[in-house]
């Protein structure tokens, strides 16, 4: 069940530094908080009970929400470790070779007070009998691998929904590269997989990423629309359409009109004048709106590891929570450190969601 925030609001303010006032005092004047379906301890009873999800799916979702330091709050903190497939095992674990061992990955999630651990078929299979009853398992069933030459970007299936069920998983996860030439096939594959997961009583989590070289205008002095609020918001909207129970998305970094600037898709000027501003909380609120106003919870990703990991992670958590999101899924920032430091970072993220002084904008 939920514990008390160790840092408290003063500790969080200290970590936020010069970003504290802007992030903690901001008021969203685009999409009002009253319109949102918000996270809470009664989320399954209040929101999911009225859906077409089966009783076993509701039970799996409740198990996910009830575990770890955030258990019983409606918020989630998930440790994802699947980067070894695309980023290579050596590049991912060189900073901390102990995490070549899947047992250590699961132990980090447990010690870090996470709601669940999300990783690969082989990693969960290597320790399922030891840990599946101790922490909720989330199997990532597809990946983009970088050993094929030349490198390409395409999510392919590495495992099956049936294997996830046999490992005792409460949920399956998958990635779709929206905007890529392969996205139509991926949408169909993941939609079928998610339907099968629901039939077996598991919840579904979708990594909603945009991917197309044409989306980046950085070389020309423009924006990288891979993290534009409008494109990522639409990716979320497609994700909930195939019944993802939770949406995982990168934090938006620009409110520039991607659809207009890239001359594709459909857009309405009010998207940019009334539904979002360049403030990160307002852009993330637009992402939440595209998750059926929060009926499918939005969790944002922690991003790559760097010199300012603690501050970056806490900033992302504050933005997500105040926008109406339901948590964070952070991997590299945690496992590319000694375990004690990784646990501390995960706990700092969780402290944001446990802090009652941080509410909806």
pLDDT digits (tens, 9 = 90+) for 175-208: 999 999 999 999 999 999 999 999 999 999 999 9
Instruction: Give the helix/strand (H/E) hosting 289.
Output: helix 280-289
Judged against a pLDDT cut of 70, whether residue 295 lies above it is answered with yes
The label of the residue with tokens 């009873």 reads 45
Q: What angle do CA 245, 248, 250 make, to 5 degrees?
A: 160
**What pLDDT is recorded for position 1?**
58
Q: What confidence category does residue 357 fall into, taking pLDDT thresholds of 50, 70 and 90?
A: very high
Contact criterion met (CB below 8 Å) for 345 and 313: yes
Cα separation, 233 vs 244, whole angstroms: 14
pLDDT of residue 84: 84
Phi, psi at 77, each rounded to 5°: -130, 115
Kindly state the percentage of the chain with pLDDT values over 70: 98
Catalytic residue among 140, 184, 219, 248: 248
Q: Give the residue-averaged pLDDT of 232-253.
A: 98
Known catalytic residue: 248? yes
State mean pLDDT over 160-178: 98
Q: Mean pLDDT, the chain, as a whole number?
A: 95
The dihedral sign for the CA sequence 250, 79, 38, 59? positive
Check residue 60 and give left, alpha or beta (phi > 0: left; psi -120 to 50: alpha).
alpha
The pLDDT assigned to 2 comes to 63
CB-count burial class (<10 Å; 0-12, 13-18, 19+) for 10: exposed
- 325: number of CA atoms within 13 Å, CB side? 34
CA dihedral 210, 156, 334, 240 (to 10 degrees): 50
Between the CA of residue 265 and those of 151, 214, 231, 234, 273, what are the distances in Å?
Answer: 28, 13, 9, 10, 18
Class of domain 8-354: alpha beta
Say how many Å lie between the first and final Cα of the chain, rounded: 26
Specify the higher pLDDT residue, 88 or 161: 161
pLDDT (tens digit per residue) in 10-45: 999 999 999 999 999 999 999 999 999 999 999 999
Most confident of 240-244, 327-331, 338-342: 240-244
Buried b (16+ CB within 10 A) or exposed e, 112-127: bbbbbbbbbbebbebb
pLDDT at 305 over 80: no
> Is the pTM here over 0.75, yes or no?
yes
pLDDT at residue 119 is higher than 80 = yes
Name every residue whose Cβ is closer than 8 Å to that of residue 235 and which is 6 or more positions away in sequence. 176, 178, 179, 208, 209, 210, 249
Hey, is 241 helix, strand or coil?
Answer: helix
What's the mean pLDDT in 45-74? 98
**Closest residue by Cα to residue 61 from 36, 39, 83:** 39
pLDDT at residue 3, rounded to an integer: 65
Helix or strand (DSSP H, E) at 107: helix 102-111
Q: Please report the DSSP string for 294-343 in residue order.
A: GTS-EEEE--S--TTHHHHHHHHHHHHHHHT--EEE--HHHHTS-HHHHH
| Cβ proximity of 197 and 191 under 8 Å | no
């Amino acid at each position: 069940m939920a514990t008390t925030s160790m840092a408290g609001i003063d500790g969080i303010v200290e970590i936020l530094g010069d970003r504290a006032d802007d992030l903690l005092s901001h008021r969203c004047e685009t999409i009002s908080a009253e319109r949102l379906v918000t996270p809470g301890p009664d989320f399954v009873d209040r929101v999911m009970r009225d859906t077409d999800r089966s009783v076993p799916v509701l039970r799996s979702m409740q198990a996910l929400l009830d575990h770890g330091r955030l258990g019983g709050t409606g918020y989630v903190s998930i440790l994802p470790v699947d980067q070894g497939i695309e980023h290579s095992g050596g590049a991912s674990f060189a900073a901390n070779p102990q995490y070549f061992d899947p047992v250590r990955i699961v132990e980090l999630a447990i010690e870090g007070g996470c709601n669940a651990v999300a990783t690969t078929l082989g990693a969960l299979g290597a320790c399922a009998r030891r840990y599946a009853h101790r922490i909720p398992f989330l199997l990532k069933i597809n990946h983009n691998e970088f050993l094929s030459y030349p490198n390409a970007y395409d999510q392919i299936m590495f495992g099956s929904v049936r294997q996830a069920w046999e490992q005792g998983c409460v949920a399956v996860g998958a990635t779709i590269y929206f905007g890529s030439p392969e996205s139509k096939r991926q949408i169909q594959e993941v939609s079928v997989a998610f339907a099968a997961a629901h039939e077996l009583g598991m919840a579904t989590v979708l990594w909603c990423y945009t991917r197309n070289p044409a989306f980046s205008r950085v070389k020309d002095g423009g924006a990288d629309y891979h993290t534009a609020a409008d494109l990522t918001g639409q990716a979320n909207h497609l994700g909930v359409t195939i019944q993802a129970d939770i949406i995982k998305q990168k934090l938006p970094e620009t409110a520039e009109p991607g659809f207009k600037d890239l001359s594709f898709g459909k857009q309405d000027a009010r998207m940019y004048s009334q539904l979002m501003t360049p403030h990160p909380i307002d852009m993330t609120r637009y992402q939440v709106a595209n998750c059926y106003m929060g009926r499918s919870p939005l969790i944002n990703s922690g991003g790559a590891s760097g010199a300012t990991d603690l501050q970056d992670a806490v900033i992302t958590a504050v933005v997500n929570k105040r926008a109406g999101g339901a948590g964070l899924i952070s991997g590299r920032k945690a496992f590319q450190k000694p375990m004690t430091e990784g646990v501390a970072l995960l706990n700092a993220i969780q402290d944001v969601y446990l802090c009652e002084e941080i509410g909806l904008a």
